[in-house]
Amino acid sequence: MNKTYYDPADLRKFGKITEWSEELGTKFFDYYGKVFEEGALSAREKSLIALAVSHVVKCPYCIDAYTKDGLQRGITKEEMMESVHVGAAIESGATLVHGVQMMNKYEKLSH
């Protein structure tokens, strides 16, 4: 049973989203391409950020794409894993900071 819900072959079909909405798909891919151009951040740095975010949003296609992209840009496995930990720390911190909301509500309702 090697079949998964996410078929890795589907990543190659991503460009086909324009077939059902050409204008919006084209605008998205233009924007996406522009974002990943060299700028204040290098393409290498952007690739590491994309890999971390891919894990936070739990996108297996993105994880595959940016692991491959990172390898092509000379990013080490240690750098990749560290970026994943950065994403995980931000995600868990964002979850935990919402605990303050719960604490405030508890205090308000329990008095």
pTM summary value = 0.84
Query: Which conformational region is residue 35 in: left (phi greater than 0), alpha (psi within -120 to 50 degrees), or beta?
Result: alpha
Please answer whether residues 51 and 83 qualify as being in contact, where contact means their C-beta atoms are separated by less than 8 angstroms.
Answer: yes
Q: How far apart are CA 4 and CA 18, in angstroms?
A: 25
Confidence at residue 1, expressed as pLDDT on a 0 to 100 scale: 52
> In terms of C-beta density within 10 A (0-12 exposed, 13-18 middle, 19 or more buried), how is residue 25 classed?
middle
Confidence at residue 111, expressed as pLDDT on a 0 to 100 scale: 86
Instruction: Answer yes or no: is 14 within a domain.
Output: no
Q: How far apart are CA 58 and CA 26, in angstroms?
A: 24
CATH code, domain with 75: 1.20.1290.10
Concatenated DSSP letters of 37-49: SSSSS-HHHHHHH
Instruction: Answer yes or no: is 11 within a domain.
Output: no
Average pLDDT of 40-44? 97
Confidence at residue 8, expressed as pLDDT on a 0 to 100 scale: 84
Instruction: Answer yes or no: is 28 within a domain.
Output: no
Residues 6+ apart with CB under 8 A from 81: none
* Number of domains forming the structure of the chain: 1
> Could you tell me the residue range of the domain that residue 99 belongs to?
41-106
Number of helices and strands (H, E) in the chain? 5, 0
Confidence at residue 4, expressed as pLDDT on a 0 to 100 scale: 75
Instruction: Answer yes or no: is 31 within a domain.
Output: no
Instruction: Answer yes or no: is 90 within a domain.
Output: yes
Instruction: Answer yes or no: is 19 within a domain.
Output: no
Work out the mean pLDDT of the chain and round it to a whole number.
94
Confidence at residue 27, expressed as pLDDT on a 0 to 100 scale: 96
